[in-house]
């Protein structure tokens, strides 16, 4: 029966048909679930990212569709008369993307743990540092390791550029040695997670050598230095360079806080001056700068080609070892009696 509306004062009574209640069913009879056909499984449901992709494709082609939540995922429904067309469009989109490697935004990035390999290598390196600190003999001869290998800007400007590498292996005392070893283990663990073990150590050594060379060229004669802190800050700079390059998202305010921490570390860590025992701020700064430049370049390459494989990592590690051995070979050859 029609609903009778009571008359309003000054107005004649009128009748209005009450709207009929619409019964909603889900899914409506005219809709078809395409999810089993797209995922090859009747019970499967699409992830948020995949469901949005389907919706974007169908929206672009003007095909009506509906997404329905199904547990943790989604299911796609389209009108029966457009089901074949919708399936064809989505499959064409999937085929077009098949040859384009894209990261899965929902995947949790996994990086292999390198903490134990880095600690093992740093244990060996710290042992070699200790041997040089204790003036270990070579072939039965007492070698003045500090005299022939410590950083001396006057000697380097005169042609003894190997000191830029040999100075990284010498330390003033055990506290200096263990401080650099601890910092190196921390920063190299973070760097090697991004680049791999061999490439990470090579970047640290290359940045340390480059930082010592740059420091001597800028400051001139009269400078004496030793210690691995230049390479340690080179590793930190390389880490920042890799992360700020295309290998990672652009810098954010939170990442910018790391720059302030780096500046504080530049003023606090290390004991690099052979004569005064003062912190070698120039070495830290130029090591960090060289590391950042190398990290930016390497990060771009990693973004395009990924990390080097095991053979490539071994080659970079061998290159770092060869650079250090060649520098010490030149230093010992220049000192060796009769050489």
**pLDDT tens column, 231-274:** 999 998 998 888 887 544 444 445 545 554 554 455 455 444 44
Say whether pLDDT at 189 is over 60: yes
For the residues 90-101, what does the mean pLDDT come to?
A: 76
Among the candidates 68, 97, 126, a domain finishes at 97
State the chain's mean pLDDT as an integer.
Answer: 80
What is the pTM for the complete model shown? Answer: 0.63
Mean pLDDT calculated for residue range 182-201: 91
Q: What's the mean pLDDT in 285-307?
A: 89
- Provide the CATH number for the domain around residue 259: 1.20.1540.10
Q: What is the pLDDT of residue 250?
A: 44
Are 120 and 77 in a shared domain?
no
Same-domain check for residues 215 and 180:
yes
Residue 218 lies in a domain: yes
Region 209-224: mean pLDDT is 92
pLDDT classification of 295: cutoffs 50, 70, 90? very high
Q: pLDDT tens digits for 20-79?
A: 555 555 555 588 888 888 887 666 788 888 888 889 999 988 888 888 888 888 888 999
Residue 274 sits in the same domain as residue 330: yes
CATH number of the domain within which 39 lies: 3.30.70
Q: Name which residue leads in pLDDT, 163 or 45.
A: 163
Are 269 and 137 in the same domain? yes
**Residue ending a domain, choose from 67, 97, 127:** 97
Banded model confidence at residue 110, pLDDT cuts 50, 70, 90? low
* 3-state SS string for the chain: CCEEECCCCCCCCEEECCCCCCCCCCCCCCEEECHHHHHCCCCCCECHHHHHHHHHHHHHCCCCCEEEEECCEEEEEEEHHHHHHHHHHHHHHHHHHCCCCCCCCCCCCCCCCCHHHHHHHHHHHHHHHHHHHCCCCECCECCCHHHHHCEEHHHHHCCCCCHHHHHHHCCCCHHHHHHHHHHHHHHHHHHHHHHCHHHHHHHHHHHHHHHHHHHHHHHCCCCEECCCHHHHHHHHHHHHHHHHCCCCCCCCHHHHHHHHHHHHHHHHCCCCECCCCCCCHHHHHHHHHHHHHHHHHHHHHHHHHCCCCHHHHHHHHHHHHHHHHHHHHHHHHHHCCCC
| 19 in a structural domain | no
Please give the residue range of the domain that contains residue 51: 26-97
């Amino acid at each position: 029966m029609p609903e009778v509306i009571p008359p309003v004062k000054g107005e004649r009574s009128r009748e209005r048909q009450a709207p009929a209640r619409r019964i909603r069913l889900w899914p409506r009879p005219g809709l078809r679930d395409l999810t089993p056909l797209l995922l090859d499984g009747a019970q499967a449901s699409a992830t948020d990212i995949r469901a949005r992709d389907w919706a974007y494709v169908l929206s672009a082609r003007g095909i009506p569709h509906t997404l329905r939540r199904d547990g943790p995922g989604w299911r796609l429904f389209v009108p029966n008369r457009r089901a074949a067309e919708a399936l064809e469009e989505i499959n064409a989109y999937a085929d077009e993307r098949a040859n384009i490697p894209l990261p899965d935004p929902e995947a949790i990035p996994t990086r292999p743990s390198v903490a134990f390999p880095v600690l093992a290598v740093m244990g060996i390196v710290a042992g070699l540092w200790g041997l040089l600190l204790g003036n270990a003999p070579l072939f039965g001869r007492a070698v003045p390791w500090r005299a022939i290998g410590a950083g001396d800007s006057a000697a380097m400007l005169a042609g003894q550029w190997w000191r830029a590498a040999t100075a990284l292996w010498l330390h003033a005392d055990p506290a200096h040695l263990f401080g650099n070893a601890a910092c190196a283990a921390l920063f190299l663990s973070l760097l090697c997670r991004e680049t791999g073990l061999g490439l990470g150590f090579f970047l640290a050594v290359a940045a340390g050598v480059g930082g010592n060379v740059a420091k001597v060229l800028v400051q001139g004669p009269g400078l004496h230095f030793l210690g691995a802190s230049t390479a340690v800050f080179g590793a930190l700079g390389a880490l920042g360079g890799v992360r700020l390059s295309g290998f990672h998202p652009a810098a954010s305010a939170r990442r910018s806080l790391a720059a302030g921490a780096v500046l504080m570390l530049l003023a606090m860590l290390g004991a690099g001056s052979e004569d005064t025992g003062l912190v070698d701020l120039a070495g830290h700064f130029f090591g960090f700068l060289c590391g950042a430049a190398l990290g930016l370049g390497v990060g771009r390459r990693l973004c395009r080609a990924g990390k080097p494989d095991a053979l490539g990592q071994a080659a970079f590690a061998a290159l770092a070892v060869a650079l250090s051995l060649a520098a010490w070979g030149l230093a010992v050859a220049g000192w060796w009696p009769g050489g």
